[in-house]
Amino acid sequence: MNGATMEVGAVAAMRYVKDGIKAARLVMLHTEHTMLAGDQASAFAISMGLPGPSNLSSTESMEKWAKWKENQCQPNFRKNVVPINSCGPYHLRKDVNLDQKTCLVEDKIKSSNVNLHNHDTISMAIFDKSGHIAVGTSTNGASFKIPGRVGDGPIAGSSSYADDEVGACGATGDGDIMMRFLPCYQVVESMRLGMEPRIAAKDAISRIARKYPKFIGAIFAVDKNGVHAGACYGWTFQYSVRSPTMDDVEVITVYP
């Protein structure tokens, strides 16, 4: 996202192309769209010169998948369904009342499948010498997700957001929950109204935690003057900062 023009480029559910951030930037620079998804996003990225199609599996990821299959495809992100065998196909449970109230209660009490060991989000905000801000977020997504799932990574306002007039925000955690609140948009708008970054980040996280007490996530916020802070829930979070006047990166630890 370009904080000067508010332009956004995103790719979602993109396979066979390794560099999601470069692909997203190509969408922003060379199309009038905001997001491309699926195999057509891959085709666009390759047509614009990115390497591919490539097999992005690693020995580690294949071993992880094999163990998951041996464990009868658990954990997974399904609810209110039953499998024909341990790994599906899945069908609706006939003994569950699928009204809105039931679903909301299940969402609140279900423990998250997102933890410190099964996601890999990187979110970054950069200021240039003129004070213009750019943000970007890249992720492989949650492990064992349902095919076709898109998390909060490519959603402007959820995983990251920037406005030169105010500042920027980046986020990580349970993207399926976080994208329902657009926490980074909330942070930037709170700073616009005068909140300092620390309070704005804490407020955005608290809004989510009140509805989903088993949620895991974190936010960093930075205003246009470079004042920064973080907030988290369900884990201890770290973010790093580097400015031209610093000799090395400073790592900031944020506690729940």
At 189, list the tokens: 């708008």
Q: How far is CA 233 from the centre of its chain?
A: 15
Whether residue 214 contacts residue 111, with contact meaning beta carbons closer than 8 Å, is answered with yes
CA distances from 66 to 37, 63, 118, 182 (A): 27, 5, 15, 35
Active-site positions read: 121
At 79, list the tokens: 């609810």
CA distances from 18 to 27, 57, 75, 147 (A): 15, 10, 26, 18
Best CA proximity match to 157, nearest among 256, 34, 42:
34
CA dihedral for 202, 206, 207, 209, sign (positive or negative): positive
Whether residue 207 contacts residue 178, with contact meaning beta carbons closer than 8 Å, is answered with no
SS3 19: coil
SS3 225: coil
Instruction: Give the span between the Cα atoms of 193 and 208, in whole angstroms.
Output: 20
